[in-house]
Chain A
Amino acid sequence: MIRAGNGWLAVPAVVYLALLFACPVAAVLMYSGLTRDFYGGVIWTPSAVAWQMATDAITLRILARTLLLAVGVTALNLLIAYPCAALLARLPRDQRTMWVLVISFPLMTSLLLRTYGWLNILPLAWRGTLPAVALVLACNYLPFMLLPLVKAYERADGTLLSAALDLGATPWQAFWRVTLPITKSGAISGAMLVFIPVTGEYLIPHFIGDGKVSVVGTVVMSSFDHRNWPYAAACAAWLAAIILVPIVVSLVRKKD
């Protein structure tokens, strides 16, 4: 047993977070308040230009589009993953493991290869549209939604659903009043695992979006190309703030 009072056990985690999370975030924030160097990097004089750009209508629209995309992909994944998880949960254990492997198998191939593959599958007219980007992202992130959900379904063993039906609940009522509340924590973990990385995605929006779908990720990338580090840093900070707010709110609410 590890005693809660043994603070030394937290040292590796604290060092890791300080070095690889807190310091880079501080650096990003700092860069967003410095002057752009047209040859790359920054000039060490304070400037508000990057934040003026990052709060104008164009950037705000890009931010809104990024959030819409992330919400859409998460919702699409929930819709696909719920019936899949219900099916998988009913299989015997060894078969379930096999299918989970099959579903995660695409993750083991190169992301670039997979994305080029999609370019061949998608109808030409869809290329460069937001829904096409959402579709490819959804397929890419499905395992991250499915795996926690399958775990949650395993907790809600099948007799609970039988019990709900037996006690007079219609299949819809049984889903709404039993399955959903019990699998909620798995769905939330899955949603976090999908939502957060999708907000920072740039490769799939870049290729599938054909340069016509601007999201925060692609803007940050092109800002590096244009040697505008402060603006890229400001966009990244915006994104981090938007993601952090709901996480902090949910943590505070859990404490109550």
Chain B
Amino acid sequence: MSGESQPGPAVELRGIHKQYGTRPILDGIDLSIARGEVLVLVGPSGSGKSTLLKIVSGIETPDRGEVWLSGRESTSLPPYRRPVHTVFQNYALFPHLNVAANVAFPLTVAGVSAAEQQTRVATALGWVRMQNHAQRRIESLSGGERQRVALARALVNEPQCVLLDEPLSALDPHLRSATLDLLEEIQARLGVTYLYITHDRDEALRLGRRIGVLNHGRMEHLGPPEEIYRRPRTAFVASFLGKINWLAGEVLDNGPARAVSLGGRAIPLNGQPAIAGPCKVGVRPEDVSLGADGWLAARVVSRQFAGESTLLRVARAGGTEVQVDQRGACEVAVGDEVRLAWSTEAMHVFAADAEAAP
């Protein structure tokens, strides 16, 4: 199945629309995933990411738009004829089959000979380090082991693309990191394409070569993790992928020298979106520095030492609080008067009524 000769990206979506009743779930999604890429779709629950995954796997069909898999028009292809397999959130392992028979399932239904099944199942179980559990019953496995069996089952006949539907959400936090390592290791080894959906920003930032942020069925931003984090296209993206302070300001449009007014200070804007009037300014806690000549005056309200950094809450004269994350030495104490500064690039300016993540 790993035909290098087949043209086109592993997955391509063109103008996907889907609604349930009158409620739009997906509102014009365009997406192209290259062969061997790891693309993470992240968004809150109800953003449409699960529906998008089901449209790729064929369990759902779009109302409008096209699905192309490996250069082949597949919009109305049934799930069992698509070269993609899913790792389900609740594992969806067959309770009446043992580990080996679960992993062999895609081969069995494809009519692969018993001898070949045996070698390929052993190989797949080796990838997920479950080779010693082949004869175990599913109910005797832990959550992490079940997830690895589900992964082996999705990989065993080397599909073009593996769809991962929040595969870590049912696991303990300490198992998540180990499973992410395993997912990355397998991807590097097999060169398989991952389409991974999650609502967890840490998983997304760590795993994704590219990240797509979905909100209300729209792709708000699609790009590399650094770009999404450093230059978010919307207020929602800025606040969904990391902590951010929102400050109310106003854009002063003075021709070429545009600036934003914050607490009476005009801070120059270079290369920021062309909006005018009232705005919200986002600054991440780790981008705020404390110094004698900062933009805004504030007083330290609380100080929390967290090892590699110190977390401060500072209050401005009007009462608005700003979180500051100081790396390295931090000389200030509660009650100190400080001035807050940040670089122009660290400032994310959006319309005042732009939606931010809760």
Report A172 CB to chain B, min CB distance, Å. Answer: 10
Interface residues of B in 95-124 (CB under 8 A from A): 95-96, 105-106, 108-110
**A182-B106 in contact (CB<8A):** no
Interface residues of A in 150-183 (CB under 8 A from B): 159-160, 162-171, 173, 177-178, 181-182
Binds A, one of B84-92, B190-198, B328-336: B84-92
Q: Which 5 A-B pairs have the closest CB atoms?
A: A163-B92, A169-B109, A165-B79, A181-B96, A167-B106
What is A's interface to B at a CB cutoff of 8 Å?
Answer: 159-160, 162-171, 173, 177-178, 181-182
**B90-A159 in contact (CB<8A):** yes
**A173-B109 in contact (CB<8A):** yes
A169 with B80, Cβ < 8 A, contacts A162-B59, A177-B108, A177-B109 known: yes
A168 with B109, Cβ < 8 A, contacts A159-B88, A162-B59 known: yes
Given contacts A167-B154, A168-B85, A168-B106, 20 further A-B contacts (CB under 8 A): A159-B88, A159-B92, A160-B94, A163-B86, A163-B88, A163-B94, A164-B94, A165-B59, A165-B78, A165-B79, A165-B80, A166-B84, A167-B80, A167-B109, A167-B153, A168-B80, A173-B80, A177-B105, A181-B96, A182-B94
Partner of A182, one of B78, B85, B90, B95: B95
Report B82 CB to chain A, min CB distance, Å. Answer: 8
For B, the interface residue count at a CB cutoff of 8 angstroms equals 23
A166 with B105, Cβ < 8 A, contacts A159-B92, A182-B95 known: no
What is B's interface to A at a CB cutoff of 8 Å?
Answer: 57-59, 78-80, 84-86, 88, 90, 92, 94-96, 105-106, 108-110, 153-154, 157
Bound complex: CA of A166 vs CA of B94, how far in Å?
13
CB-CB under 8 A from B86, the residues of chain A are 163, 166
30 CB contacts below 8 A, A to B, read A159-B88, A160-B92, A160-B94, A162-B79, A162-B88, A162-B92, A163-B92, A164-B105, A164-B109, A165-B58, A165-B59, A165-B80, A166-B57, A166-B59, A166-B80, A166-B86, A167-B106, A167-B109, A167-B153, A168-B80, A168-B85, A168-B157, A169-B105, A170-B80, A170-B109, A173-B109, A177-B105, A177-B109, A181-B96, A182-B96
B92 to chain A: closest residue by CB: A163
CB-CB under 8 A from B153, the residues of chain A are 167
Is chain A's binding surface mostly helix, strand, loop or mixed? Answer: helix
**A168-B110 in contact (CB<8A):** yes
CB-CB under 8 A from B59, the residues of chain A are 162, 165-166
Which of A162, A171, A181 has the most B CB atoms < 10 Å from its CB? Answer: A162
A178 with B94, Cβ < 8 A, contacts A165-B79, A166-B59, A170-B80 known: yes
Bound complex: CA of A168 vs CA of B83, how far in Å?
9
CB-CB under 8 A from A169, the residues of chain B are 80, 105, 109
CB-CB under 8 A from A178, the residues of chain B are 94
A167 with B96, Cβ < 8 A, contacts A162-B59, A173-B109, A177-B108 known: no
Bound complex: CA of A163 vs CA of B154, how far in Å?
10
Report A235 CB to chain B, min CB distance, Å. Answer: 40
Which of A159, A167, A173 has the most B CB atoms < 10 Å from its CB? Answer: A167
Bound complex: CA of A173 vs CA of B57, how far in Å?
18
Bound complex: CA of A178 vs CA of B58, how far in Å?
19
Bound complex: CA of A99 vs CA of B58, how far in Å?
30
CB-CB under 8 A from B84, the residues of chain A are 166
Bound complex: CA of A170 vs CA of B78, how far in Å?
9
